[in-house]
Amino acid sequence: MSSTDKVNQLFWLAYGQAIKDKAGANFGKTGAFFLASEAQKGAPAGSAVPDDYTNTGLYDIANNLLAADNLFYNTSALHGYAEALSTYLNWVDLGSHASKALDTALLNAIQDQSAAEIAYQTQRKKAVEQYKDDCKSGFVPEGQTLTQWIAAGNAPKLTTATKNRDAAAAQVIALQDQIAGPLAAQLTNDRTKLSQEMNKNDDIDGFNMHCAVGNVLSPQELIRALNNGETVPKPTFQRLPLYQSAEYKAAVEAMERKIGTSFKPANSVSFTVDYRKDTSEYNFGQTTAGACLGVSWAGWFSFNAGGSFSESKSIITTAHETENVSVKVTYDTFQIIPIKLGDWNIDISKYTLRSDAPKDIKALARVTSLVMATGLGYEITVGSGVAKTVDNYYNKTVQAGGSISIFGIPIGVGGSGSSTDEKTSHMASWDSEYKTFKVFPAEEAGYATVVGLMGEKFNIL
């Protein structure tokens, strides 16, 4: 491992340890703590916020696809946990001795279904983005939902991909029915459950929910409307698998009552990095020693700029540079917020997977709680040598209108070319005299940040 990689990993691991300890994220034997490579804004919530907005945020957070052998989860993955369950059922050992020909046919059908599912998810993602664009441009009739827009012929490739996916899935089910076995009836019941949570056309209590999409307010617009005492209109929606958390709404409402121009986080935790420490000494419950050091790690402190300064630069890359670096995480609260899945969630502990099931299926884990920080900020103090690097990169990034990322949090720094308004949740300042880089929540981006997740492993690796 290069010095640069080790330094980067040590900062991430020390940060994760600080959050885990302060939040009290005790995961037990079957659990694990996961970090976001790209931190997510907390979903808007409260009595004046339509549930559709909160539902969208909860879905985006709780449906993240976790892997028991990976410390990080990817918030932009093509599909999540709810979708992965159907794939999981494809690989269940049915406990029957199928003929080689029938087993080969099933494996081929599973491969076809996997390709069809990827094509469907890709086309659906494109259709959703087109629907959003059409809504903004005024091309969508008022009140027309995503489902209605698709039915009107506006996403023909998605319609075709949906038919292909359904046909491929039906073929897998038909072959599993032929193989039969003692678990066949239970498998059929579980597939019926999953089909209800994936229903895009009908409301099914306990299985799906309305999530804002299309003709909606951005988080910044929503917060401004609430601060101005305006009534937020009910948005257009799509139906997605149900996730719930009454505790989340209560936590966000409590935080919003505290926010004001003089708000300052009440707590902090500081840490430094000892380069002599081995990365394998950290344990967050993953099934791979050293918190999965084979995976790709994002830079913990990096500058991203456009224009003439288009590079992405990470700082603090050597053992010597870590000696004078201290990180203070400022926050008001760290909270563990439990997430309840809808009635669609199935108990997969009763199943055994085929020996040839893919590794990512065997490593499946589900979200049980989110780790949320309110009023999250950072104060990073560096030595003289690193300070010159920070000063150089910071000035170039500001001039180019770029952004900075610290532990996966996008930070806006202004500049004429900046386009980070919707993605940025925090702002920053650099004090070259005191060699301190400060990060604080943007006033109109909300004050809750999801910095990690608690998950349950299925112990099948």
With CA atoms as reference, report the closest residue to 371 among 66, 71, 61, 51. 61
Pairing of strands 237-241, 243-244: unpaired
Q: Which residues contact 165 (CB under 8 A, 6 or more apart)?
A: 113, 116, 117, 119, 120
Q: What are the structure tokens assigned to 221, written together?
A: 């617009």
Alpha-carbon distances of 332 from 200, 251, 329, 365, rounded to whole Å: 39, 12, 10, 29
User: Residue 308: what pLDDT?
Assistant: 42
Q: Look at residue 307 and tell me if it is in a domain.
A: yes
**What is the number of structural domains in the chain?**
1
Write down the residue that tokens 């040598």 correspond to: 385
Q: Look at residue 109 and tell me if it is in a domain.
A: no
Q: Look at residue 146 and tell me if it is in a domain.
A: no
Cα angle at 222 between 220 and 224, to 5 degrees?
70
Q: In DSSP terms, which residues pair with 412 in a beta bridge?
A: 403, 427
With CA atoms as reference, report the closest residue to 359 among 29, 38, 62, 70. 70
Buried b (16+ CB within 10 A) or exposed e, 108-143: ebbebbeebbebbbebbeebbeebbebbeeeebeee
- Collapse the DSSP code of 428 into the 3-class scheme (helix H, G, I; strand E, B; otherwise coil) and give the result: strand
Structural domain that includes position 287: 1-78+244-461
pLDDT digit string (tens) for 342-375? Answer: 999 999 888 999 999 998 898 889 999 999 998 8
Q: Which pLDDT band holds residue 115 (cuts at 50, 70, 90)?
A: very high
On the question of pLDDT at 376 being above 80, the answer is yes
First to last CA, the chain: 26
Write down the residue that tokens 């439990």 correspond to: 338
Q: Which pLDDT band holds residue 242 (cuts at 50, 70, 90)?
A: very high
Q: Look at residue 227 and tell me if it is in a domain.
A: no
Cα 31 vs. chain centroid, distance in angstroms?
A: 18
Q: Look at residue 176 and tell me if it is in a domain.
A: no
Q: Look at residue 2 and tell me if it is in a domain.
A: yes
Radius of gyration for the alpha carbons in the chain, expressed in angstroms and rounded = 24
Contact predicate 352/294, CB 8 Å: no
Instruction: Provide, rounded to the nearest whole percent, the portion of the chain with pLDDT above 90.
Output: 52
With CA atoms as reference, report the closest residue to 349 among 183, 185, 195, 208. 183
pLDDT digit string (tens) for 53-112? Answer: 999 999 999 999 898 888 998 787 767 899 999 999 999 998 888 899 999 999 999 999
Q: Look at residue 96 and tell me if it is in a domain.
A: no
Q: Look at residue 407 and tell me if it is in a domain.
A: yes
